[in-house]
Structure formats: structure tokens, C-alpha cells
Amino acid sequence: MLINPVMGIDLGTTNSAVCLWQDGKAVLIPNKWGEILTPSVVGLDEQDNLIIGRPARERLQTHPSLTQGSFKRYMGTEALLTLGSRQFRAEELSALLLRQLKEDAEHWLGQPLSQAIITVPAYFNDVQRRAVKNAARLAGLEALRLLNEPTAASLAFGLLDNREQKYLTFDLGGGTFDVSIIDMFEGVVEVRASSGDVRLGGDDFSQAIVQWMLSQQPELKTAQATLAAQLLAKAEIMKQTLSHASEAKASLEWNGRQWNWTLTEEQLTACCQPLLARLQRPVQQALHDARFSLQDLDHIVLVGGATRMPLVRQTVARLFGRFPRHDLNPDEAVALGAGVQAGMVMADAAVEDIILTDVMPFSLGIEVVKRHGNQVEPGFFLPLIERNTFLPVSKNETLNTVSDNQTCVLLKIYQGEGRRVQDNVFLGEMSIDVPPRAAGEMSIDVRFTYTLDGLLEVECRYDGSPTVARTVIEKVPGQMSEEQIAASLRKLTDIKQHPRDRQENRELLARCSRLYERLLGDERAWVDGLTTAFEQALESQDLRRIAAVREEAENVLRQYESGTLQ
């Protein structure tokens, strides 16, 4: 029994994985199907039961209106995603997935779990990060720390090879692209810079193949959701086939006709060219921000399922003039790193010497006005904390009032790199009252503090004021309110899980199998019969019948376990 075990969770766009720190190492935890990767797909069946993971992914094609994947792309937005007659926010779908991951891990471990380290793309903004924390809360988990995905991968790599070195992690997942530059020395894993593209991933390569398929068969029209889903599934298979073969075929029955395709490596290269070209800019930006040249890097580490594509590997080799390392399993590296961080949080001796420093991947600042003679033009962005500053960080800036006898200063807080605030993400605002003075005569101190988690605190004080106005950016557009969270909790507990997946039923089945293993002969056959009856009751989904058989089975088990029957 571990004391307060902390889960490490890679909550991916396409796949998620869980890792626990056990006996001094990070251990990847299989789900109830015995698999390390759980597809990040959530659906409902015709009886309104939840389906999560692999079986849900299979239904993406057959039941597109009852199934949702890639919902991580909508984190931090108010978008509503539909499952049948119900609607969910991305946080809620993520919560359902997290709840499943938690239950599977609890089942594997045999003890409850309530705390987690969850990884997020380095490029996730403040709003998206808060959405992940809320999703965890809805799933009954406290997110102790949000860890940037490429940083997690770097921690995993650092554990594998802990010499003094500098490297770049290149993470191309299903929906996002993240680049980080790491400097490792004497047990310090220092993230020097992060960059990325939140709209680029392996899924875009599959979509490019779909476009190619349609261009080859112009009579096919994708107005129907089921056709689009089927084409995408075929494209996905062809893409993966081309990772180990030079040609891939697909055929599809549609409208009473058979449609065929043969995709070659050359054609794939041609249709993915625009996507490959987009891999370059984040790499250059990260190198620039870290003030590293290509020659400074000892390794390039590949992470994310899409780096299995030979095309991506060739592009990386060309970009860097050398071959990348792939000794880490690209699908598992992020989860492993989350597990290492969990060990660090649990203050395990084996990772005591690792120190992790991370950077803030985007600039944070406020709106200011520009003066042109007598004219005042609003809408400009003044960065207070520049991107790729080490975390945690606290910065101060002194500003002056703009108008005569101004009695209130409104601070509008933004995140981004744009010169004008309209190009950046609005995070929140605060106002302070100031004593009236002539324009420019009243100065105001603004302090931004950014935590390791990626949460921002703003403090503001005018010259001579005894008090400091303080705000933690909490309510921003796209974020759930406390009332919404409470309503959502009720809604999520309402959705039925298949009885077979409910914790108490799974535990009972596990107890039955342990008893079966212990007994022999007639008694064993009898327990077998009881187990079968319980399994059949579960499949019937008839709650009364399940309760009746469960009670009977529990009585028997209790008697055996307490030793009354031997």
C-alpha cells in the first residue's frame, strides 16, 4: 500500500495514458483492457450507457453522432459537443475520460486515487489550463500540478540518459505540435524554451490524405457524417501502413459501388508538404529564444505517435542535419514523465536529486495606450513577463495615469505575442481607484506573478497607497463558473456507466475469481456458476436482477472470507 499515491496522467488529444511511481520507478498502468494507451474517445450507446476508450474509438465510424474524439482541441472554449441528445463541454468529456482512467488505475492498484499530475501542451494558455484543472475536479481528482508535455517527455528521457547534455524534444501528437529545448546538468532538467503549433498534428496528415482520396474520386461527396468518418478511418490506416510499407491500399463500399485507392510514399509526401513546412517555425523560434544554435544540441528526441511517420523523421533529419533519437517509446514518454513528476511530488528518494525548471511558453501583459502628440491610441500590448522566462516568476512595472483627474485605472490582462491586444488572448481585468491628479502624475505599480502551474496572480498599487489590490485571474471567457461546475457534477453522475464497469461490480468479480482460485472440486464449480450468473446479470443491465445476484454472491463471499465456510 502506497501512502497517497499520485497518478501521472498524459491526457492526450488522441490517446491518454497513466503512470504511477512505484518502488523507485515510473510504471505505466494498463487499463481494463490490459492496454497502456486509452484512446481519448467518449461515447454513449443506444441505451445511454457510457462507452470510453477503445470500444468508443471503434464506434467513431459506425456511430459518429453518439461518439466524440479529439475534444481536447476545444478545452477552454464554450463549444458544446453533442452525444445523441445530450451536449457536453470539452471539460466534461475530459472528466468522463479522466474518471475512467482513475477507476482503471485504482482497480489495478487496489487502492483509491485522488491526486494527479496532468500533462498539458506547453502552448496551452491560461484558460485552457484552468479547463484541465476543472475537468480533473469533475472527475474527482485534484490536479496537484500541470506539467508541460514536452517537459514531461524530457524528464522521461533524462531518466534514461542522465549525462550532462542539451537536447530538443519534438512532440507531434494527434492534434498538437510542441517543441522544447532542454539543458540538463547535475540532476537539473532545465527547460530553456518551448514553442509549438496548437493546430498541427497527425490528424491533419490523415485529413490531407482524405482530401487526396476525394481528389482521386471526385464523384464522392462527404456531406454525410458516416462517409467522412469512414474516409478518415481509411486514411488513418493508409497513413500508418506507410510508416512501414512503401504503398497502402484502401477500398470502400458506398452507394452500391466499390471505391479503391492506392497511395504511394511520393503521393503522401506531396499531399503533406504544406504540413511538413509548418514544422520548421516552432523549431527555429525555440532555438532562437533559448539562444542555442543547431550545433549546441546533443540530441533530438522524438515524442508523439505522428513521429512514427518516416516522412516526419526525414523532415526532422533534414531540419537538424542529423538523425533523431527514438529510444523512448514515442506514445509513452509523456506519461512516463508525468509518473516521474508524481515521484518528485511524493518526495521519493530515487528522484530527490532531480530538479526541474520550466519556462512560461507565452508572454503576459496588459493593455496600454500610445500617445501621438495630443492623441491617445488605445489597444497596445505591453508584455510584463516575456515568453520563455523561467518559472516561477514575478515582475514589476510602473505605469502612469493617462488623463487629468483620472479616478480609476482599469487593467486589462492579456496573453500572447501580438503587438495589439486584439491579437492576443484576453485573460481578465481588475480596476483600482486612485486619487485624482494631473495626467501622468499618478504612478501605479503592477506586479505579475506566475506560478509553476501556469496560473497568474496580478497585484496593483498606486503610489502612496497603503493597500495592494490583488487578483488571481479566475473568471475569464470560456471558463466554467462554480455554478456550472456544480451543475456539471450532477449531470455527469447521472450518466449511466455500463454496470459491468462500475467499481463495486468489478470488485465483486475480482473477489469471485480469487475465491475460485482458492477452492477445488464442487465448491469451485459452484463459485463458477455464481460468477456466471453475476456476469449474465451485468450483461442484462437489469439493475434489480444485478442487485439480487450481487447480494447472494456477497453473502457467500463474506462467509468464505470470514472463514465460516471452509
Q: Does 226 sit near ligand ADP (CB under 6 A)?
A: no
The residues in 238-257 that bind ligand ADP, with binding defined as CB under 6 A, are 239-240, 243
Per CB under 6 A, the segment of 43-51, 232-240, 339-347, 378-386 that binds ligand ADP is: 232-240
The residues in 182-201 that bind ligand ADP, with binding defined as CB under 6 A, are 201
At 503, which helix (H) or strand (E)?
helix 503-518
Cβ partners under 8 Å of residue 149, min gap 6: 10, 119, 120, 121, 122, 171, 173, 178, 303, 334
CA distances from 280 to 164, 200, 219, 506, 517 (A): 26, 12, 36, 48, 58
Per CB under 5 A, the segment of 9-17, 217-225, 390-398, 428-436 that binds Mg ion is: 9-17
The owner of cell 517537459 is 151
The owner of cell 497596445 is 380
241 binds, among ligand ADP, Mg ion, none (CB under 5 to 8 A by kind): none
Cα separation, 313 vs 52, in Å, equals 32
Chain length of the chain: 566
Candidate list 43, 64, 76, 174; residue touching ligand ADP; CB under 6 A: 174
Which is closer to ligand ADP, CB of 141 or CB of 311?
Answer: 311
Measured CA angle at 194 (ends 192, 196), to 5 deg: 160
Q: Does 210 sit near ligand ADP (CB under 6 A)?
A: no
Binding-site size, Mg ion (CB under 5 A): 2
Cα separation, 155 vs 232, in Å, equals 34
Q: What is the amino acid identity at position 50?
A: L
332 binds, among ligand ADP, Mg ion, none (CB under 5 to 8 A by kind): none
> To 10 degrees, the CA torsion angle through 339, 340, 345, 350?
130
Contact call for residues 154 and 169 (beta carbons, < 8 A):
yes
Which is closer to ligand ADP, CB of 12 or CB of 478?
Answer: 12
Least gap, CB of 190 to ligand ADP (angstroms): 24
Least gap, CB of 120 to Mg ion (angstroms): 10
Cα separation, 336 vs 17, in Å, equals 9
Q: Does 121 sit near ligand ADP (CB under 6 A)?
A: no
Letters for 329-368 (x = contact with ligand ADP by CB under 6 A, - = none) are --x-------------------------------------
According to DSSP, residue 495 is labeled S
Q: Does 76 sit near ligand ADP (CB under 6 A)?
A: no
203 binds, among Mg ion, ligand ADP, none (CB under 5 to 8 A by kind): ligand ADP
Candidate list 5, 12, 53, 69; residue touching Mg ion; CB under 5 A: 12
The residues in 156-175 that bind Mg ion, with binding defined as CB under 5 A, are 173
Burial class from Cβ neighbours inside 10 Å (0-12, 13-18, 19+) for residue 254 reads middle
Q: Does 63 sit near ligand ADP (CB under 6 A)?
A: no
Candidate list 64, 76, 175, 282; residue touching ligand ADP; CB under 6 A: 175
Contact call for residues 126 and 425 (beta carbons, < 8 A):
yes
Position of minimal CB gap to Mg ion: 173
Least gap, CB of 19 to ligand ADP (angstroms): 14
Per CB under 6 A, the segment of 13-21, 290-298, 344-352, 499-507 that binds ligand ADP is: 13-21
Cα separation, 97 vs 77, in Å, equals 18
According to DSSP, residue 14 is labeled S
Which is closer to ligand ADP, CB of 95 or CB of 333?
Answer: 333
Task: Dump strand ranges (E) for 343-475.
Answer: 355-357, 364-372, 375-385, 393-400, 408-415, 425-433, 443-450, 456-462, 469-472
Cα separation, 138 vs 80, in Å, equals 17
Cα separation, 552 vs 544, in Å, equals 13
Q: What is the amino acid identity at position 43?
A: G
Q: What is the amino acid identity at position 383?
A: P
Least gap, CB of 331 to Mg ion (angstroms): 8
Sign of torsion, CA 469 474 477 480? negative
Q: Does 15 sit near ligand ADP (CB under 6 A)?
A: yes
454 binds, among ligand ADP, Mg ion, none (CB under 5 to 8 A by kind): none
18 binds, among ligand ADP, Mg ion, none (CB under 5 to 8 A by kind): none
Q: Which one, of 519, 561, 478, lies nearest residue 80 by Cα?
A: 478
Which is closer to Mg ion, CB of 173 or CB of 416?
Answer: 173
Q: Does 69 sit near ligand ADP (CB under 6 A)?
A: no
Q: What is the amino acid identity at position 297?
A: L
Least gap, CB of 75 to Mg ion (angstroms): 14
Measured CA angle at 546 (ends 541, 552), to 5 deg: 165
Q: Does 14 sit near ligand ADP (CB under 6 A)?
A: yes
Q: Does 337 sit near Mg ion (CB under 5 A)?
A: no
| Radius of gyration, alpha carbons of the chain | 27
Which is closer to Mg ion, CB of 7 or CB of 364?
Answer: 7
According to DSSP, residue 298 is labeled S
At 129, which helix (H) or strand (E)?
helix 126-138
Least gap, CB of 130 to ligand ADP (angstroms): 20
Contact call for residues 353 and 187 (beta carbons, < 8 A):
yes
Q: Does 309 sit near ligand ADP (CB under 6 A)?
A: yes
Q: Does 202 sit near ligand ADP (CB under 6 A)?
A: yes
Q: Does 330 sit near Mg ion (CB under 5 A)?
A: no
Q: Does 53 sit near ligand ADP (CB under 6 A)?
A: no
3-state DSSP assignment of residue 140: coil
Which is closer to Mg ion, CB of 201 or CB of 416?
Answer: 201
Least gap, CB of 155 to ligand ADP (angstroms): 16
Q: Does 150 sit near Mg ion (CB under 5 A)?
A: no
Least gap, CB of 9 to ligand ADP (angstroms): 12
Q: Does 173 sit near ligand ADP (CB under 6 A)?
A: yes
List interacting residues with ligand ADP (CB under 6 A).
12-15, 173-175, 201-203, 236, 239-240, 243, 304-306, 308-309, 331
List interacting residues with Mg ion (CB under 5 A).
12, 173
